[in-house]
Amino acid sequence: MSYLHAIELELQQIRDANRYREISDGAPAGIDFSSNDYLGLASEPQVVEALRRATRAGSAGARLLGGAHREHRLLEEELAVWLGRERVLLFSSGYHAALGAIPVLARAVGGSIASDELNHASLIDGVRLAKSPRIVYPHADFERGAIAGPALLVTESIFSMGGDAVGLLALLATLGAADALLVDEAHALGVAGAAGAGLARELNDPRVVVLGTLSKAFGAHGGFIAGPGALIDLLVNRARTFIFDTALPPSLALAARVSLLLVRNGDTRRERLRANAGRLRAGLRELGFPVTEGPSPIVPVILGSEARALEVSRALLERGIVAPAVRPPTVPAGGSRLRLSVRSDHRAEQIDRLLEELATCTVTS
């Protein structure tokens, strides 16, 4: 049997389970509630202008070879000050940061890894690459007694599919002197905390390591690890996704620096974002949907089956609302949903329109 025949059989199994995915030809037309551009900075003129001023398209190499540029260092320094961390190291994406940092950090800790069961795929893959003894603990319910010896605890701060926030101070209180806590702040940076610096900003402890991305509230691209200087030096020497990967284009680093300035001074945007998220949550409660409270602009509408989520998503798109269905393996079986992402530049009437159409679609579809 040809391998192509085996591929067709597997694709058919995916279709039969209502889990088949396709890449759309450009962004669907309609009011978009799918984007992680929480502060609307991806199209902010000042950020776009930074890209227009670029004199080269790419970095032209790994950073340890010919790909090092001044903008990388400046962005790292500015991020470190904002986050209250000793040093920052840029990666070409948040996914690369997770894959590179977790194995290195796990070896340094020298014990086991504890990972939240709802962690993002990048964290899961990083944990697997570490090849350390590991446990997957129930969501937001870590017990230090479940692991003997040193431990690396891996968690998101705001979870990407549920929008709920974990209690970082409580997690920190469980750590021993030899432990470490890696916090993925991808969906918190720019959104939560003082000056948008995330939920881990208040944790002034060298055992806390922050993983971040520039591709969500920053509206740019790239990822980073923030933590003690010694750890950053070790990542430069041991993190394979830093050593062997082409560096982030300096034009994107410059755009991210402009975004950082806007994020740090973005309290007005964050106030609009919180108001929009509150309006959506209140409307969903009135429609009878369970709503998770918290600082997140991610508001899931749980519909259960893959078929049901696809049905409602397609009906909304026909009515001019972009709200993609999220299905396993991105979420657990039986937890298919619409993952609604609110932005600061959504207007009140757009949120009301979403609620009106959602009420219609969930009744008629």
Q: Please compute, for residue 213, the number of CA atoms within 13 A of its CA located in the half-sphere on the CB side.
A: 24
Residue among 37, 156, 179, 306 flagged as catalytic: 156
Q: Is 131 a catalytic residue?
A: no
Q: Is 119 a catalytic residue?
A: no
Q: Is 296 a catalytic residue?
A: no
- Cβ–Cβ under 8 Å, residues 306 and 17: yes
Which of 267, 260, 119, 140 minimizes the C-alpha distance to 193?
267
Q: Is 37 a catalytic residue?
A: no
Q: Cα separation of 286 and 95, whole Å?
A: 37
Q: Is 346 a catalytic residue?
A: no
Q: Cα separation of 33 and 317, whole Å?
A: 11
Q: Is 72 a catalytic residue?
A: no
Residue among 69, 216, 221, 346 flagged as catalytic: 216
Residue among 69, 72, 96, 187 flagged as catalytic: 187
Burial class for 165, CB neighbours closer than 10 Å (0-12, 13-18, 19+):
buried
Question: What are the DSSP E strand ranges found in 167-273?
Answer: 180-184, 208-213, 223-227
Residue among 160, 251, 259, 336 flagged as catalytic: 160
The answer, yes or no, to whether the previous bond of 329 is cis (omega within 30 of 0) is yes
Q: Is 36 a catalytic residue?
A: yes
* Cβ count within 10 A of residue 72: 22
Positive or negative: CA dihedral 99, 89, 294, 273: negative
Q: Cα separation of 312 and 303, whole Å?
A: 9
Residue among 184, 306, 311, 357 flagged as catalytic: 184
Question: What are the DSSP E strand ranges found in 54-120?
Answer: 87-91, 112-116
Residue among 34, 36, 92, 296 flagged as catalytic: 36
Residue among 69, 72, 96, 120 flagged as catalytic: 120
What amino acid positions are annotated as catalytic residues? 36, 120, 156, 160, 184, 187, 216
